[in-house]
Chains A and B, each alone.
Chain A
Amino acid sequence: MSTLIESAPSPEMAKSAAQLVKDTYKGKVHPDWCPGCGDFSVLSALQTALFELGLQPHQVVVVSGIGCSSNLPGFLNTYGMHTLHGRSLAVGTGVKMGNHDLKVICVGGDGDGYGIGGNHFVHTMRRNIDITYIVMDNQIYGLTTGQTSPTSVKGMKTKSTPHGSVENAINPMPMAMIGGATYVARGFSGKQKHLVEILKGAILHRGFSLVDVFSPCVTYNKDNTYQWFNPRVKILEEQGYEPTDFHKALDKAYQWDNEIPIGLIWKRTDLPPLEDLEPVLQDGQGPLATRKLGITDEQAQAIIKELL
């Protein structure tokens, strides 16, 4: 799994980790997902990843949209925002820019991220902002009781496509690669230990990381079940795969047949994240959020002079 994590957690992280236990990240509320839902595994993997990285709960903000999986922030003991349908990345971008000292993790479902939030998805990737985006992809609309989603396979029968969907599905992996994400990975709820490693790598990665997780909906998606995925998923890290050749990675990203690769498909570390490119964040004054308001007399006089 060496390719997932580019650097070991810092000594401070290790020190603060000593005071933390895994239960530190347990939220006040027990998840209200259906028994067997893949999202339980994602939540648990995220809690483990945060614990193993030694991140203090108050330094993490988890921003979600709307949908079953977007309820996740409430089940986790970190700062959270449960925003509007499709808007987690836009809100998360504001949070990161407002206080770039925070770890920002956006979460949601496939409909939330690739459907109604598609425009933000595309533009957040090209900005390469340091946000980790976890999509709990169940290929169905669950909270609205089972309609087709952008990742529903062509031909799938749902409540809104009773005769089978005639539209092609989005494949978020190549889309993210081409869109400018610098860490593109796929996980599976049924492989939780693997998912923890992917998430840790994503959270430590400086830049935009997408982790699309096959997170089966046991209630409304009878096609893409644990049983369906289990024999198909192949862990890339067990195959000596290196995620650094763009064109080979693109081939992997497109693969969807008897074998479906999971793991880190594409990563590059040569591009600076957005916050490193913003001049206003390079002046050593810390996050925008904690700066003194207002301007100096000299600055005010310079503005007025321009108007005369």
Chain B
Amino acid sequence: MATVDFAVGIGGENGQGIASTGDILARIFARRGLNVNAYNAYQSIIRGGHTFLTIRASDGPVRSMGNKHDVLIPLNQDSLDRHLRLMKTGSRVVYDSDRLKPGEAAAGVQLCPMPMKQICGANKLAANTAALGAVLQMLGIESEALEAVIARQFKKKGDAVIAENVGIARGGYNYGAQNFESFPVRTPKLEQAKAIVTGNQTTAMGGVAAGVKFYAAYPMSPSTGVLMWMAANARQLGIMVRQVEDEIGVMNMIIGAAHTGCRAMCATSGGGFALMSEAIGMAGMIETPVVCVDVQRAGPATGVPTKTEQGDLWQLLGAGQGDYPRIIVAPASQLDLFHTIPELFNLADKYQCPGLVLADLLISEGTCSVDPADLDFHPKIERGELILPNGNGNGNGNAANPFGGYNDSTYLRYRNTDSGISPRAVPGVPGHIHIAATDEHDEDGTLISDEFTNPIKRRMMVEKRARKMETVLAQLAPPQLFGPDTAEVTLVGWGSTQGVIREAVEQLAAEEGVVANHLHIKWIVPFHAAEVTRQLSRSRRVIIVENNYSGQFARYLRSETGFSAHGHIRKYDGEPFRPHHIVTAVKEQLAGATALSVPSHEIMV
């Protein structure tokens, strides 16, 4: 049982330093060993608008932004007015009493006015820091923790700035100690400090662990964090990063690089992915392995650039014209992204096909804590039947003939093998010259689509490529049922919603007396149809939870298994699920009120 489980909300305009204030807080909690989840609700605007950052921390598991806020730090009147009504008995509202006037608060909400002019002096921007000092004091966290993180945060700005901010933090801390009532339970300090990551960082780091040497991108929210991390770290790590003229160029360029044998990757969002589609088909046709991450945001078209959605499932399923093998995976969390990218590269290399990742704003821009021990940068690397110019890479152990025993007269790049997988020599290897063509081609790469069209060969090559997929599924971990084996209701989710659904299952059991379990889907293509059917046919009632309007996964499940769910919980307002949204919806569906619940989001941003 957790000793503490609290959430701090920080609200204000873009440009008021909310993100950095949140970073400081998240890092303090993580360094203390707490589990952390932070979600920032913001808009596509550089200055102004309204941003609301929720940071939740606990010594128990933290898998979502949670259901409540224990502390509100409004940095402007708008934020105070919007969110005061969310605050319940026992919570604290910390604000600049020189500038802000609170309205009516619920009974038991402790208003904590701070005269910031007196505490901060002329430094108007430091009110955030003073407020953090007071909040940490109330949480029972010593001020040294804040001072250490401030020193880290302002490292580049010099000692004078650090000293000034540390002084203001202490001022806020002391003001809190003298004027506000602390929370009844002090925040514990655990032995093992945690690391703080976003999903975009773990995506980039997963690429690093996989051995990516070429990363290309066109900036697009919410995927830009991958580019930024790669750009900041590429030089030390020996990775080439290119910002390309458009996403069409991005995908074609990484295919070119991958075709020479290096591991190449890109990340984008739905609009960029749409531009890449034709080239992803090329990767399928010329059998060049690449990995592309789609960080989904609310669509269609420009949609809501800063809001989350699971709306691109069918786009990935249908990307590019024609039939070709592809592997699609929807990781469940930031840490899962880190582990999945190398696994997907191994599969893409082995099966010589594109690997596509469905991430979304929730986990990719969302911050969480991870145990540093879980960040293993040396995963297993498998490159399949690759033949490189320096003789490395194919893993066939044939030291006598590093090029796999082939030569110009015997080598067929697209040899029609039993597995469908053909030995892949890259340009630069002597004796293996061939053409990689997007036109249909023969085993040796010769085009059959022009004057030589041949239905027998066409059929052979379609089947050869398709056959590769037959052995992929056996290598993927099947979905596991979470919770009791038999339950009143089975919640099914995919991708980023794993954490919030799991919390909802726990909350249903603990607070509502409803026995629920959870089947979470990660591998989309190929799909564990038999195993999922087996699991779901044992369920009394199946409800699919997803962050889109039309039930994209529900339709996919039906197409792959014939299984139709009993009920649906869908959210498509741009904001992620909170556990209680799912709990309330399950209750109304169990009561027979509806088979389709669309929870309303109560935080207005």
Contact surface of A with B, Cβ cutoff 8 Å: 28-29, 32, 56-59, 61, 63, 66, 71, 73-74, 77-84, 87, 90-99, 101-102, 119-120, 122-123, 278-281, 283, 285-295, 297, 299-300, 302-304, 307-308
B433 partner residues in chain A, CB cutoff 8 A = 57-58, 77-79
Which range contains the number of B residues in contact with the other chain? 35 or more
Contact A59 B196 (CB under 8 A): no
Choice from A83, A97, A122, A295 contacting B240 with Cβ under 8 Å: A97
Which of A80, A83, A120, A302 has the most C-beta atoms of chain B within 10 angstroms of its own C-beta?
A: A83
Contact B240 A73 (CB under 8 A): no
Q: Assuming A87-B279, A98-B213, A292-B392, what are 8 further A-B pairs, CB within 8 angstroms? A: A29-B446, A87-B249, A92-B256, A94-B260, A98-B214, A290-B261, A291-B238, A303-B205
A292 to B388, CA, bound (A): 11
Contact A308 B372 (CB under 8 A): yes
Contact B428 A101 (CB under 8 A): yes
B381 at the interface (CB under 8 A from A): yes
Contacting A at CB under 8 A, from B442-472, are 444-447, 450-451
Contact A123 B428 (CB under 8 A): no
Contact surface of B with A, Cβ cutoff 8 Å: 30-31, 193-197, 201, 205, 208-211, 213-214, 216, 233-240, 242, 244-246, 248-249, 252-264, 278-279, 282, 286, 370, 372, 375, 377-378, 381, 388-390, 392-393, 426-439, 444-447, 450-451
A96 partner residues in chain B, CB cutoff 8 A = 256
The verdict on A289 contacting B389 (CB below 8 Å), with A94-B259, A120-B245 known, is yes
B194 partner residues in chain A, CB cutoff 8 A = 308
The verdict on A84 contacting B239 (CB below 8 Å), with A58-B430, A97-B214, A98-B259 known, is no
A32 partner residues in chain B, CB cutoff 8 A = 450-451
Contact A82 B439 (CB under 8 A): yes
A95 partner residues in chain B, CB cutoff 8 A = 256-257, 259-260, 427
Contact A63 B256 (CB under 8 A): yes
Contact A81 B234 (CB under 8 A): no
The verdict on A79 contacting B427 (CB below 8 Å), with A288-B213, A290-B388, A308-B193 known, is yes
A303 partner residues in chain B, CB cutoff 8 A = 205, 208, 233, 375, 377
Choice from B370, B389, B447 contacting A74 with Cβ under 8 Å: B447
B213 partner residues in chain A, CB cutoff 8 A = 98, 288-289, 291, 293
Contact A304 B447 (CB under 8 A): no
Contact A94 B377 (CB under 8 A): no
A290 to B237, CA, bound (A): 15
Contact A91 B252 (CB under 8 A): yes
Can you show 28 pairs from A to B with CB atoms below 8 A apart? A58-B430, A73-B435, A79-B428, A81-B437, A82-B436, A82-B439, A83-B252, A83-B438, A87-B248, A90-B253, A94-B259, A94-B260, A96-B256, A97-B214, A99-B262, A101-B389, A102-B428, A288-B257, A289-B213, A289-B260, A289-B426, A290-B389, A292-B211, A292-B392, A295-B238, A299-B237, A307-B196, A307-B197
A123 to B249, CA, bound (A): 10
B208 partner residues in chain A, CB cutoff 8 A = 295, 303
Contact B432 A288 (CB under 8 A): no
A66 to B205, CA, bound (A): 36
Q: Kindly list the 8 A-B residue pairs having the minimum CB-CB distance in the complex, ordered from nearest.
A: A94-B256, A293-B211, A98-B260, A90-B252, A98-B257, A300-B377, A307-B195, A82-B437
The verdict on A59 contacting B428 (CB below 8 Å), with A94-B259, A290-B392 known, is yes
A28 to B286, CA, bound (A): 19
Which residue in chain A gives the minimum CB-CB distance to B383? A293
CB of B199, distance to nearest CB on chain A (Å):
13
Which of B211, B214, B249, B256 has the most C-beta atoms of chain A within 10 angstroms of its own C-beta?
A: B256
A102 partner residues in chain B, CB cutoff 8 A = 260, 427-428
A292 to B263, CA, bound (A): 11
B451 partner residues in chain A, CB cutoff 8 A = 32
B248 partner residues in chain A, CB cutoff 8 A = 87, 90, 119-120
Contact B388 A289 (CB under 8 A): yes
The verdict on A80 contacting B252 (CB below 8 Å), with A95-B257, A102-B260 known, is no
B444 partner residues in chain A, CB cutoff 8 A = 28
The verdict on A82 contacting B438 (CB below 8 Å), with A61-B427, A291-B262, A293-B263 known, is yes
